[in-house]
Structure 1
Amino acid sequence: MSLRELFDRLPEGWSEVAYDGRRYGVTRTVRLGGRQQSVYAEELGGTDVVSANLYLPRDGEEAFRPCEMPARKVVAFLTGLDVSTPGS
Protein backbone atom coordinates (compact mmCIF):
# COMPACT_ATOMS: atom_id res chain seq x y z
CA MET A 1 0.00 0.00 0.00
CA SER A 2 1.42 3.40 -0.98
CA LEU A 3 1.76 6.28 1.45
CA ARG A 4 -1.02 8.10 -0.37
CA GLU A 5 -3.32 5.10 0.10
CA LEU A 6 -2.41 4.98 3.80
CA PHE A 7 -3.27 8.67 4.24
CA ASP A 8 -6.46 8.22 2.19
CA ARG A 9 -7.71 5.57 4.64
CA LEU A 10 -8.52 8.43 6.99
CA PRO A 11 -11.43 10.79 6.36
CA GLU A 12 -10.67 14.50 6.11
CA GLY A 13 -11.11 16.39 9.35
CA TRP A 14 -11.17 14.86 12.82
CA SER A 15 -11.95 11.23 13.52
CA GLU A 16 -11.38 8.64 16.20
CA VAL A 17 -9.42 5.47 15.44
CA ALA A 18 -8.07 2.49 17.33
CA TYR A 19 -4.41 1.50 17.16
CA ASP A 20 -2.52 -1.05 19.24
CA GLY A 21 -5.38 -1.29 21.73
CA ARG A 22 -5.53 2.48 22.29
CA ARG A 23 -7.83 5.24 21.03
CA TYR A 24 -6.52 8.21 19.07
CA GLY A 25 -8.05 11.43 17.84
CA VAL A 26 -6.74 12.00 14.31
CA THR A 27 -6.93 15.06 12.10
CA ARG A 28 -6.27 14.69 8.37
CA THR A 29 -5.91 17.92 6.42
CA VAL A 30 -5.81 18.04 2.62
CA ARG A 31 -4.55 21.12 0.76
CA LEU A 32 -3.70 22.15 -2.79
CA GLY A 33 -6.20 19.80 -4.40
CA GLY A 34 -4.78 16.80 -2.54
CA ARG A 35 -1.14 17.49 -3.35
CA GLN A 36 -0.31 18.25 0.29
CA GLN A 37 -1.73 16.23 3.16
CA SER A 38 -1.05 16.11 6.86
CA VAL A 39 -1.96 13.71 9.63
CA TYR A 40 -1.81 14.57 13.31
CA ALA A 41 -2.90 12.00 15.92
CA GLU A 42 -3.01 12.21 19.70
CA GLU A 43 -3.64 9.27 21.97
CA LEU A 44 -6.86 9.93 23.87
CA GLY A 45 -6.10 9.73 27.58
CA GLY A 46 -2.40 9.19 26.89
CA THR A 47 0.73 10.92 25.71
CA ASP A 48 1.52 9.39 22.32
CA VAL A 49 1.54 11.60 19.21
CA VAL A 50 1.91 10.73 15.53
CA SER A 51 2.42 13.44 12.91
CA ALA A 52 3.52 13.61 9.28
CA ASN A 53 3.13 15.44 5.99
CA LEU A 54 2.84 13.96 2.52
CA TYR A 55 3.62 16.00 -0.58
CA LEU A 56 2.39 14.80 -3.97
CA PRO A 57 3.79 17.13 -6.63
CA ARG A 58 2.45 16.98 -10.15
CA ASP A 59 5.48 14.99 -11.33
CA GLY A 60 4.13 12.08 -9.24
CA GLU A 61 7.07 11.68 -6.85
CA GLU A 62 5.90 11.38 -3.22
CA ALA A 63 7.74 13.25 -0.48
CA PHE A 64 7.01 11.88 3.01
CA ARG A 65 7.99 14.04 5.98
CA PRO A 66 7.41 12.66 9.49
CA CYS A 67 7.38 15.38 12.17
CA GLU A 68 10.04 14.85 14.85
CA MET A 69 9.71 11.04 14.82
CA PRO A 70 10.95 8.04 12.86
CA ALA A 71 9.16 7.32 9.59
CA ARG A 72 8.61 3.71 10.67
CA LYS A 73 6.46 4.90 13.62
CA VAL A 74 4.15 6.86 11.32
CA VAL A 75 3.94 4.06 8.74
CA ALA A 76 3.19 1.49 11.47
CA PHE A 77 0.42 3.71 12.81
CA LEU A 78 -1.13 4.36 9.38
CA THR A 79 -0.90 0.68 8.46
CA GLY A 80 -2.24 -0.67 11.75
CA LEU A 81 -4.99 1.77 12.63
CA ASP A 82 -8.61 0.68 12.58
CA VAL A 83 -11.03 3.34 11.41
CA SER A 84 -14.04 1.02 11.60
CA THR A 85 -14.05 0.47 15.36
CA PRO A 86 -13.30 3.74 17.14
CA GLY A 87 -13.39 3.52 20.88
CA SER A 88 -12.63 -0.19 21.01
Structure 2
Amino acid sequence: MDQELGALIGAIPEGWTRAEVDGESWGVTRVTRAEGKVISLNAERLGDGEQLGANVWITSDGPVLRPCEVPAERVLRFLRAAATWYSVRT
Protein backbone atom coordinates (compact mmCIF):
# COMPACT_ATOMS: atom_id res chain seq x y z
CA MET A 1 0.00 0.00 0.00
CA ASP A 2 2.93 2.39 0.59
CA GLN A 3 3.65 2.82 -3.12
CA GLU A 4 -0.02 3.12 -3.93
CA LEU A 5 -0.58 5.71 -1.18
CA GLY A 6 2.42 7.73 -2.35
CA ALA A 7 1.12 7.78 -5.93
CA LEU A 8 -2.43 8.61 -4.85
CA ILE A 9 -1.50 11.51 -2.59
CA GLY A 10 0.95 12.73 -5.25
CA ALA A 11 -1.90 12.98 -7.76
CA ILE A 12 -3.76 15.50 -5.58
CA PRO A 13 -2.73 19.08 -6.40
CA GLU A 14 -1.45 21.37 -3.67
CA GLY A 15 -3.98 23.91 -2.39
CA TRP A 16 -7.74 23.92 -2.96
CA THR A 17 -9.18 22.28 -6.05
CA ARG A 18 -12.50 20.87 -7.16
CA ALA A 19 -12.90 17.19 -8.03
CA GLU A 20 -15.71 14.95 -9.22
CA VAL A 21 -15.89 11.75 -7.18
CA ASP A 22 -18.63 9.22 -7.88
CA GLY A 23 -20.59 11.86 -9.77
CA GLU A 24 -20.46 14.38 -6.92
CA SER A 25 -18.50 17.62 -6.60
CA TRP A 26 -15.95 17.85 -3.81
CA GLY A 27 -13.69 20.66 -2.65
CA VAL A 28 -10.29 19.11 -1.95
CA THR A 29 -7.49 20.81 -0.04
CA ARG A 30 -3.96 19.43 0.10
CA VAL A 31 -1.37 21.16 2.28
CA THR A 32 2.23 19.99 2.61
CA ARG A 33 3.99 20.82 5.88
CA ALA A 34 7.13 20.03 7.87
CA GLU A 35 9.47 20.28 4.89
CA GLY A 36 7.41 17.76 2.91
CA LYS A 37 7.11 15.18 5.67
CA VAL A 38 3.41 15.70 6.44
CA ILE A 39 0.62 16.08 3.90
CA SER A 40 -2.84 17.05 5.10
CA LEU A 41 -5.86 16.23 2.98
CA ASN A 42 -9.32 17.63 3.62
CA ALA A 43 -12.29 17.07 1.36
CA GLU A 44 -15.82 18.43 1.57
CA ARG A 45 -18.68 17.30 -0.62
CA LEU A 46 -20.12 20.48 -2.07
CA GLY A 47 -23.81 20.87 -1.42
CA ASP A 48 -24.18 18.94 1.82
CA GLY A 49 -20.90 19.47 3.68
CA GLU A 50 -19.94 15.81 4.19
CA GLN A 51 -16.25 15.78 5.02
CA LEU A 52 -13.28 13.51 5.27
CA GLY A 53 -9.73 14.17 6.19
CA ALA A 54 -6.39 12.51 6.72
CA ASN A 55 -2.74 13.17 7.25
CA VAL A 56 -0.05 11.29 5.39
CA TRP A 57 3.29 11.09 7.15
CA ILE A 58 6.24 10.60 4.86
CA THR A 59 8.64 8.34 6.77
CA SER A 60 11.86 6.58 5.84
CA ASP A 61 9.75 3.40 5.48
CA GLY A 62 7.30 5.12 3.12
CA PRO A 63 4.04 7.05 3.50
CA VAL A 64 1.76 6.28 6.45
CA LEU A 65 -1.96 7.11 6.32
CA ARG A 66 -3.53 8.63 9.43
CA PRO A 67 -7.23 9.21 8.72
CA CYS A 68 -9.19 11.71 10.80
CA GLU A 69 -12.39 10.22 12.23
CA VAL A 70 -13.14 8.09 9.14
CA PRO A 71 -12.03 4.57 8.22
CA ALA A 72 -8.77 4.33 6.26
CA GLU A 73 -10.51 2.39 3.48
CA ARG A 74 -12.92 5.28 2.93
CA VAL A 75 -10.03 7.71 2.54
CA LEU A 76 -8.28 5.32 0.14
CA ARG A 77 -11.45 4.89 -1.94
CA PHE A 78 -11.76 8.66 -2.15
CA LEU A 79 -8.08 9.08 -3.08
CA ARG A 80 -8.33 6.43 -5.81
CA ALA A 81 -11.36 8.12 -7.37
CA ALA A 82 -9.94 11.64 -7.03
CA ALA A 83 -6.53 10.62 -8.42
CA THR A 84 -8.24 9.09 -11.44
CA TRP A 85 -10.31 12.23 -11.95
CA TYR A 86 -7.27 14.52 -11.73
CA SER A 87 -5.19 12.28 -14.03
CA VAL A 88 -7.61 12.63 -16.95
CA ARG A 89 -7.57 16.42 -16.58
CA THR A 90 -3.84 17.06 -16.71
- 2:40 maps to 38
TM-score, normalising length: structure 1: 0.85
Query: By how many angstroms is 1:53 displaced?
Result: 0.4
Pairwise CA RMSD of aligned residues? 1.5
- 2:64 maps to 63
Pick aligned residue for 1:21 from 14, 17, 23: 23
Residue identity opposite 2:36 in structure 1 = G
Instruction: State how many pairs are aligned.
Output: 84
Residue identity opposite 1:42 in structure 2 = E
Residue identity opposite 1:67 in structure 2 = C
Structure 1: unaligned runs, 5 residues or longer: none
Query: By how many angstroms is 1:34 displaced?
Result: 1.6
Distance 2:48 2:24 in 1: 9
Distance 1:63 1:78 in 2: 14
Query: Segments of 4+ in structure 1 off by > 3 A?
Result: none
